[in-house]
Amino acid sequence: MTNLIIENIKISIESIKSHLLRTILTILIIAFGIMALVGILTAIDSIKYFFTENFTQMGANTFTIRNRTMRVQIGNKVHKAKFYEPISYDEALTFKEEFVFPAYISVHTYATGTATLKYKSVKTNPNVRVIGTDENYLITSGSEIKKGRNFTINEVFFGSNVSIIGNELANKLFKNKEDPIGKIISIGPGKYRIIGVLKEKGSSIGFSGDRNCILPLTNVRQYFSRPNRSYKISIMAKNPELLEAAIGEATGLFRIIRKNPLSEENDFEISKSDKLVQIFLDNIKYITLSATIIGLITLVGAAIGLMNIMLVSVTERTREIGIRKATGATRKTIKNQFLAEAIVIGQLGGILGIILGILIGNILSLIIGSNFIIPWAWIILGVILCLIVALVSGIIPAIKASKLDPIESLRYE
C-alpha cells in the first residue's frame, strides 16, 4: 500500500514537470488564496497580541475606580447626560486608608495633556501628559524605573518639586547620553528636579506612556488646580485569584464612602485592566470573519483553476491512460493517480501560501512592535483547506479518467 502511494506521488511529480508552466500558475492561485487567509489572520493575531500586552500591562489582577458619566442617545435625539459627582481627593484618600484587603492602592489624577518640558534651550513638543500620583502608582500601572528612584511618602505628602519622566522625554531633553537624574527642568512655570526615568513601554493607538511626566499628587493639586477635579483609584490585588473578591470589597466600601443608597446603582465605575482589550477583541472578530471570507473566496477560485487543469490533463493524457489500463492498471489505480496529482499541486500551493502569509503577517507585527507570530492553528487550517480543495477539484477528473475505455484511449490521436 505504501509503495503504491509513493508510486502515485512519483507519477504526479513527473506529470507536473511535463506541464510546468500551467502547474505553476495553478500553484500560485492556491498560494494567493492561502496567503490571503493566513497573512491577514496572522496580522490580526499580531495586533491582538500587541493590544493584549499593552492594555493589560497593569496586570490581570488590577482594577480602577473612576468617576462615572452617562449620556443616552435614542435615534437622533441626544438626551442630557446624567451627572455624577467627581471622586474627590478626600474620598480617594479615605478609601486608601480604609481598604484593608491585601492589595496595593494608588491614587492619581490627570493634570494636563499639553505640557511642554524644557531643559536649558531644549524643549519638547506641547503634547506631554502630566499625571499626579502617589508612591504606589508605578506598581499598579505596571511601570518600571530605568534610572533613579520612585517618590517617597514624604515627597508625595509635602508636594515636593520632583518628577519622574518617560524614556522618550529623557532622550528628547538630554542629548549625548547626558544623565537626566538630578537635572532641573521646567514644566510650565514650575521648576522640577528629575529623580527617575521610566523604562520604555511603547505606544498604543497613538498614546505613548513614554511621553508621560509624573509629579507628586499634592504638587499637581497645588500647581495644576482646577474645579471639580476627579481622582482615580487603582487597586492591584496581591493574589490574582482574589481579584473578584477585591472588586466586591472595594465596591462595598466605596458605596459607603460615596453614601450611595441601597436602592440606587453605583455612581462610580469599576473597570478591570483588560476591559479595553476585551472591547477591542469583540470588535476585531468582524475583521477576522471578513478576512476568512476573502480567503475562502480566493480558494474557491483556486479550486476551479485546479479542476480545470486536471480536466485538461485527463484529455491530454488519454492515450497514456489507455496504455496503463492495457498493462493492468485498474480504475481505482487510475483514479488514485489523478487524485494524488491534485493533492500534490494543492499542498505545494498551500506550503507556498503559508510561508508567504506568515511573512506578510509578521511584517505588520514588526511595524507595530509586536512579537513574531507563528499561527499554528491557521497553518493546520491552511493544510486542511488545501487538501479539501485538491480532493474536490480532483475527484471529477479522476473519476472521468478512471472510466475511460482502454481501447478507445489507445486509438486517441
Q: Return the SS3 of 243.
A: helix
Looking at residue 82, its pLDDT comes to: 55
Looking at residue 115, its pLDDT comes to: 92
pTM of the model: 0.58
Amino acid at 311: L
Which segments within 166-264 are labelled E, that is strand? 184-187, 190-198, 203-204, 207-208, 212-216, 232-237
Question: What would the grid cell of residue 357 be?
Answer: 502569509
What digits encode the pLDDT tens for the residues 274-300? Answer: 666 666 667 677 777 777 787 778 777
Looking at residue 79, its pLDDT comes to: 44
Looking at residue 4, its pLDDT comes to: 65
| Whether the Cβ atoms of residue 166 and residue 209 lie closer than 8 Å to each other | yes
Domain assignments of the chain as residue spans, ordered by start: 2-54+279-411, 62-272
Which of the residues in the chain have pLDDT under 50?
A: 70-75, 77-81, 204-207
What digits encode the pLDDT tens for the residues 172-206? Answer: 999 888 899 999 999 988 999 999 999 887 554 44
Residue whose entry in the numeric block shows the C-alpha cell 507563528: 374
Q: CB-based burial of residue 138 (10 Å sphere; 0-12 exposed, 13-18 middle, 19+ buried)? A: buried
What digits encode the pLDDT tens for the residues 204-223? Answer: 444 456 789 999 999 999 99
